[in-house]
Structure 1
Amino acid sequence: MISSPDDLLRLAPDAKSLEAGRRLFYSRRWRLVGGDGQWLWGEWVYGSGQRATESAVHLTAGHFVCNCRARERPCAHGLALVLMLKNDQERISVGQPPSWVRSVQYQADRQAKPKPLKDAEAADERQGERLALMGAGVEELELRLLDFARRGIADTLAQGPEPFLAAATHLADAKLPGPAGLLRRLARLGRDGTEADIARTLGDLYLFVRAWKNRRTLPPDRHAELLQFAGVNIRKEELLARPGLEDHWLVLGTAEGQEDRLRFRRTWLRGEKSRRFALVLDYAFGEMPFERSWPLAASFQGKAYYYPGSYPQRALLPSTTPGGRPYDGLVGYPSFVELRANYQKALAVNPWLYAYPVYLSAVTPTLASGQAGLADANGEVLPLHPEYDNFFSLLAISGGGTLAVFAEFDGYRLLPLSVVTEFGLVKG
């Protein structure tokens, strides 16, 4: 429970943010600064005055909300509002919060309010309705895949991306975002991919269809993985009720992407004692910042709560503290033979592994016939992902020799995320 403005100011992530808040406190660009005893809000105008940063503070819970792009919370805007509450309350008007604050308050109240017991039955009913809708979407997907197969890949591609995008829209309406994402990938591959890439993606979709139709016969862990791939999310409360894995975690690499206005980020951490990887997925819409930053090479002490599955990778790390000590225990694959052997074992357990973390202890960047790749000690070369555009920097770091690389492996290609140098981890 927060009891004073000083308590709120102590939540500042660092002295730099607090100093930025002090500068904004004196700014004349604030408008609609108000409060109702529970929330404190304000809009900071910038540019031509037509755009504003909307910032609010829940005074008792110490919850800061802002649509600025700062990576840390509380940001300078929220801290400036608290400084007004402490030092210049005449600038604050008492009244009803604007609509955007009421929306934030509604979401907070909804999450905090415990569900009555009878809501469990309603939740089960809604779950059943959603599964029925998803089942209808799977039936439609199967018909489309069979139609693609009858037409052939070349004839299907000749129609452009529209058939794939239309199918993806229908699947999204049927609450199947995972397969819908694969169809959108097919639309992109139609321009830049090979027929082998397209055939593999179509095969993955048909595997999903057959797995869905036989989901009642799957073991619980595989059934959970299938639902997660389809798009059924597990509530955070349920996940945190599971046992967590305490360890010293090292941030080995991050990858970011975007679909329409939704940005996503994959962050890979590795446990020092457990030697297990944890994948943290973050999402942000438009220009909103990600909820938390994971600096490369930083280490944290805390528990990882893995999503259920036969080969769990995705996890939450809700409460961590800085590691504060050196990280030890990185062991990499000496050759691609061992990499493929472990990948095949993992894939046999969970066929939905589209990003597999690999630490390669000694590889050499190579360029042959215009194809960038990494070569192991045996001379075998694995190509780099076509989205990777930092090959020549990788080559410069290696100086023509070997280097240690952390990357994602999709079964065919590598996507480097970081490189181990004498100065530590650097972005790959």
Structure 2
Amino acid sequence: MPLNLTEEQILQLAPDDSSVKAGKGLATLSKWVLRECSGRAVWGHCQGSGKNPYQTVIDLNDIAFKCSCPSRKFPCKHGLGLLLLYARQPDQFTQAEEPEWVTAWLAKRTEKAEKKEQKAKSETPVDEAAQAKRQEKRHQKVLGGISDLEVWMKDLVRNGFLNVPERAYTLFDNMARRMVDAQAPGLAGRLRAMEAIDFDSENWKSDLTESMGRLYLLMQSYRNIDGLPEEWKDEIRTQIGYPQSKDNVLAGEPVADSWLVLHKQSRKVNDVNTDIYWFYGKESGLFARYLSFAV
């Protein structure tokens, strides 16, 4: 089947820069002793340093990868290389019947997707009272975290910024962890951004002051959230770190555009890997952010 991905989009799937480089290096015919495809998958054998070649397969209907190599990166360099090669030279792949190892993997993926769909259909109606109770419990936890953060900020301002550069890591990291415990990951992210300030630059004091001011404004906005318009409530909760359901996001007005990837940032907080992508719409002039979480 034709691949509706550009080379740039494929490279965006890479977990890091080294995987991009390695994947490009494997996107050549000489690296693959077998190259085959079907209407729903592409697979191949890549000869590595071992006796047996690595078996790599890609689900083309819902881009996913599987490889027999020992790499813990996902996708690995073999998956990236094979997909890049297929995007560039699809005519160099032979149409063939799927081998058992490909069929078994695709069948497992289909079964998993069907179970997920059935589970979603069979879910019991939401207990609104219990949901409201959980939301109120989280709200109080966030308020408690904000109170601790305010005391911390005032102590920092009272003592001055002179010693901040030499103790930036522990200073911001400890409070960021406290915000995660308070279920306010958005505040934790802002604290980690302060930690990443270039303290060797001449402007670090003004950068830190501005970041502190914005953080304090967000804290006070959340404390007074009940008196704000509904659209501002949603925005402030999002900035604090409340998740938005997929259904709510998809219910919004879609914007069709050519989206440029401006930046990608990856971080790990309490065993949760977070990838953040920033986009810019060429025609609309809008900015967008995409979040991906994985344990």
- The match for 1:138 is 146
Choose the corresponding residue for 1:105, options 101, 108, 112: 112
Match of 2:64, SS?
strand
Is the 2:32–2:46 Cα contact (8 Å) retained in structure 1?
Answer: no
Is the 1:162–1:187 Cα contact (8 Å) retained in structure 2?
Answer: no
Matched ranges for 1:198-237 at <5 A: 198-237=208-247
Say if 2:162 is the partner of 1:154.
yes
Q: 1:45 to 1:159 in 2, by over 3 A?
A: same
Matched ranges for 1:17-416 at <5 A: 27=34, 47-48=48-49, 55=57, 57=59, 62-66=61-65, 67-68=74-75, 86-89=96-99, 105=112, 109=116, 113-114=120-121, 115-118=123-126, 122-189=130-197, 191-193=199-201, 194-244=204-254, 249-251=257-259, 254-259=262-267, 262-271=274-283, 276-283=284-291
Higher strand share: 1
Q: 1:107 to 1:89 in 2, by over 3 A?
A: closer
Q: 1:92 to 1:202 in 2, by over 3 A?
A: closer
Is the 2:33–2:46 Cα contact (8 Å) retained in structure 1?
Answer: no
Is the 1:262–1:284 Cα contact (8 Å) retained in structure 2?
Answer: yes
Q: 1:21 to 1:90 in 2, by over 3 A?
A: farther
Match of 1:256, SS?
strand
Is the 1:254–1:267 Cα contact (8 Å) retained in structure 2?
Answer: yes
Distance 1:121 1:52 in 2: 53
Higher helix share: 2
Match of 2:242, SS?
coil
Gaps of 5+ in 1: 1-9, 31-38, 287-428
Match of 1:113, SS?
helix
Normalising by structure 2, we get a TM-score of 0.63
Q: Percent identity among equivalent residues?
A: 18
Gaps of 5+ in 2: 11-26, 66-73
Is the 1:256–1:263 Cα contact (8 Å) retained in structure 2?
Answer: yes
Q: 1:45 to 1:195 in 2, by over 3 A?
A: same
Distance 2:146 2:82 in 1: 41
In the TM superposition, residue 24 of structure 1 has moved relative to its aligned partner by: 9.2
Distance 1:202 1:15 in 2: 41
Size of the aligned set, in residue pairs, is 251
Distance 2:129 2:54 in 1: 43
Normalising by structure 1, we get a TM-score of 0.46
